[in-house]
Structure 1
């Protein structure tokens, strides 16, 4: 185990070094932001309205509504990373790491839009008649000469394996550890309950996942944010100074203070970007898999709805976690247990013992939702490699591994998960750069026709027929 932990830690450091994935991730997001004319700023309002208020695109093809697709993507991303990942970033990189998480989220919205757009544009029906899409399809279909097919296979292999890390073992382990710490629950009992609950949902496939996540994902996010708002109100006097630290330390590094050992600017950037992607998954390609299942009348419309997932995850939820940690001063304690750092931060603001309970229950809901979302991502990745016959065995194995994660010591798994996330992102980011011209061209054309996303299905169909010759 120590040798394995060292190997994955070294691999994680290499993948997330300032010389490999970090510049590629930020560079791709910035490139797409410019080519798309800052689409994440221009269309955020209409996209939020379409995804959260109207919730469906009547007349479009797909298996679940746009809102359910958004909920599934949120379920997969609003997980332990929003609690533990943020604390890890700030605990190692200082308050400035939160700024770089914001940067990753802001420009990552363009990456999320682009991959969701491609996920819908190049999706196809599988043997059961369900829509299947994602980088494993659009890389192969849109990039010629075998290079795209190679990228697609690389992505699918890493995604199918990575799902057991980021979307299963780490999440189940975090649930059992938090429930044992907060309420004294036996990890075996927790694992058994997770095993039954996961299996019950996964048996129904994407439609079951969509219904479950649509029901409780908004509730869990709202309750968590309300608790964070309470803490920030209690510590309102420290909020201006906390925001000042976020911006100054992002460019200067953080001096040693209290139990905090200090960090340089490179570490702040590295931790902020790495934890930011771990949280919102922009550029990783996973969100495109959920987007491909959505009923939508045009790829641009679903791409914009999917883009709001990164905004909600990073600009909203991550911000609340980070500011609670900074305003309460817990980041200075040098606590190596990131989950304990967040729990202590909430405990300093909430009355009685509510802080630890809120964080523990949030981890349960966030992690369980991530397990559901990532089971679908991994299943679809495997399906692109071996066909529909791999679906049920994958669901079964995924459900069993949930129990293993809840009842085992998993020291190397966090580094394993982070490394595999990065390896997933590499082929997708290459594809996004190569296809950015087509994405920008079709996006401009559609938004010139429907800038407020209010066109009916009939209007979109008529417009698409008239412009069929100019597409692609």
Structure 2
């Protein structure tokens, strides 16, 4: 009643103003919660990786050394058919996976689940190495040559061309079902090329460049859109030439920065590793500003971030690997084993150690609050162990603490209500509320702010809230990089890393969308798609992409589900294909067989 009286008949738009995009985002978030964000989806991905790991007898271990030889070109033939080398295909696929997830995703997983989340990311990548091996092998096996002479492949092609014996005598029905799944996968890939590879990536770059160097979002978007257009309009061969140079270069820059943090904080490395492994099955207790996370939450967040870091099972990487020159599919599948290892087990582990050894993961920093991460509790909580446990369980959804609804009273920037404000999963401190003027300046706010079930609804008022709380994503990694031999200059490595990583992801995903468009509409659809991709890339540099991130989660699930079903249905064919590969290999390379036998005898 108090809330309605305050609004009055002329101010009810304050509540309605938050509708539209916010409501759409909530609807999409609810849908994603039933698929990509659900527990069954996580277990489906993990279960598939575990099944093939056991079924194929740990190929990620047995074939790892062989995969390195293939990448080096040792077994290449002059008449191998394809558009790129093994290394170029690997670099293109890596440029799609090594991205903001390696900088921001690891920080986000630790922020949600504590140090134990890093272990589950690594464990997930280990199983993902096998999943990548399977999906790339099968996709490469059924690739096709398009009208323009380039190779096209990916899960949609094995879904269309493979014979799925599980459907029994009714092969026509089986063909129709799999063709439908192929179309769903291809359509979801096109949407995901924007939702994963284009719009959020340029937004991350523009935000980072503006924060670090003060360059306007639109200017960053314009320059990079021109560069992107130059690269992708040249097709896979130009993309491959760019990524084979870009990926090693950006990895080296990032590695130097990360190691400078680790060695600067060398005394904390062993305790950090202990934290990672000691709480794997118990969860992490409240430490510093961190309110704690149980086993289930750490497991779910670690697995979730691990899966979406290396994209194992999603079906995106097989599209890049389909361009590789090879006379049979298994060798390219073995190359794909290296992807999750490099992306997650190496790069993500190094990122995790920088965050943990520097100690920034449970410290509060002065920052501007994102209203989507603010929760206003009805009671006042102390920074005691008992209250931290209550709030930690609340955030982990074990139980609910009472939320505040009503009017937030603010006087000269200070909140006068007796309550607790959570921001970024921590108890916020030293909070000041400002009103942003038309010229961009800020003045302490005096007035009232609407709160509904713990959520701020400022309406048309340009309210800004600042204070101390935990950080997550790239800002957390940037803070870690400051605690290195480079000092404050370490944050520039993150800005440069984000630029290179995100831009390379946009390049690779343009190719994924390109091949999906080819499957759906033929070669005639490629140029229009590339133009739309570049234009959207520019506009996203200064537009709100929140809904796109949520939509991306849905499209990723719509790619992954058909792909997992397909590779599981073809598990027997996969094993036969691997067995045939080794049989043919030993005939072609008898000296390799002799070397193997001599090692076994020794």
Q: What residue in structure 2 maps to residue 463 of structure 1?
A: none
Is 2:290 the counterpart of 1:255? no
Aligned residue among 480, 492, 497 for 1:345: 480
The one-character-per-residue Cα deviations of 1:132-163 (angstroms, maximum 9, x if unpaired) are 01011111211352222121111111111011
Specify which structure has the higher proportion of strand.
2
The 3 A distance-change label for structure 1 pair 54 and 185 is farther
What pairs up with 1:367-378 in 2 under 5 angstroms? 367-378=502-513
Distance in 2 separating the partners of 1:336 and 1:416: 24
Aligned residue among 560, 563, 566 for 1:425: 560
Q: What residue in structure 2 maps to residue 168 of structure 1?
A: 198
Is 2:493 the counterpart of 1:358? yes
Distance in 1 separating the partners of 2:261 and 2:182: 45
Return the offset for 1:7.
Answer: 2.0
Is 2:117 the counterpart of 1:84? no
Q: What residue in structure 2 maps to residue 107 of structure 1?
A: 127
The 3 A distance-change label for structure 1 pair 352 and 239 is closer
The one-character-per-residue Cα deviations of 1:60-87 (angstroms, maximum 9, x if unpaired) are 1001111111110011110111111111
Distance in 2 separating the partners of 1:115 and 1:51: 18
The 3 A distance-change label for structure 1 pair 17 and 257 is same
Check the 8 A contact 2:481/2:487 in 1, yes or no: no
Q: What residue in structure 1 maps to residue 5 of structure 2?
A: none
Return the offset for 1:17.
Answer: 4.4
Aligned residue among 197, 203, 209 for 2:233: 203
Aligned residue among 274, 288, 299 for 2:304: 274
Distance in 1 separating the partners of 2:76 and 2:27: 46
What pairs up with 1:206-225 in 2 under 5 angstroms? 206-225=236-255
Q: Which has the higher contact order (CA 8 A, sep 6+)?
A: 1
Distance in 2 separating the partners of 1:436 and 1:234: 48
Return the offset for 1:187.
Answer: 0.7
Q: What residue in structure 2 maps to residue 411 of structure 1?
A: 546
Check the 8 A contact 2:84/2:324 in 1, yes or no: yes
Distance in 2 separating the partners of 1:18 and 1:102: 20
Check the 8 A contact 1:25/1:429 in 2, yes or no: yes
Check the 8 A contact 2:202/2:541 in 1, yes or no: yes
Specify which structure has the higher proportion of helix.
1
Distance in 2 separating the partners of 1:173 and 1:431: 34
Check the 8 A contact 1:141/1:148 in 2, yes or no: no
Return the offset for 1:46.
Answer: 1.9
Aligned residue among 561, 575, 586 for 1:440: 575
Return the offset for 1:329.
Answer: 1.4
Distance in 2 separating the partners of 1:210 and 1:55: 20
Distance in 1 separating the partners of 2:552 and 2:25: 12
The answer for unaligned runs of 5 or more in structure 2 is 1-20, 165-170, 364-425, 427-469, 593-602
Q: What residue in structure 2 maps to residue 132 of structure 1?
A: 152
> Which range moved further: 90-99 or 418-427?
418-427
The answer for unaligned runs of 5 or more in structure 1 is 460-472
Return the offset for 1:446.
Answer: 1.7
The 3 A distance-change label for structure 1 pair 419 and 267 is farther
Check the 8 A contact 1:55/1:66 in 2, yes or no: no
Aligned residue among 194, 211, 232 for 2:224: 194
Normalising by structure 2, report the TM-score.
0.73
Normalising by structure 1, report the TM-score.
0.93
Aligned residue among 221, 230, 234 for 2:264: 234
Q: What residue in structure 1 maps to residue 95 of structure 2?
A: 75
Return the offset for 1:455.
Answer: 4.1
Distance in 1 separating the partners of 2:549 and 2:350: 23
Return the offset for 1:170.
Answer: 1.1
Q: What residue in structure 1 maps to residue 362 of structure 2?
A: 332
Paired positions, count: 456
Q: What residue in structure 1 maps to residue 207 of structure 2?
A: 177
Q: What residue in structure 1 maps to residue 440 of structure 2?
A: none
Q: What residue in structure 1 maps to residue 339 of structure 2?
A: 309
Return the offset for 1:191.
Answer: 0.2
Q: Secondary structure of 1:407's match? A: coil
> Which range moved further: 340-349 or 440-449?
440-449
The 3 A distance-change label for structure 1 pair 261 and 448 is farther
Return the offset for 1:185.
Answer: 1.1
Q: Secondary structure of 1:16's match? A: coil
Distance in 2 separating the partners of 1:55 and 1:455: 9
Distance in 2 separating the partners of 1:381 and 1:253: 41
Return the offset for 1:204.
Answer: 0.5
Q: What residue in structure 2 maps to residue 464 of structure 1?
A: none
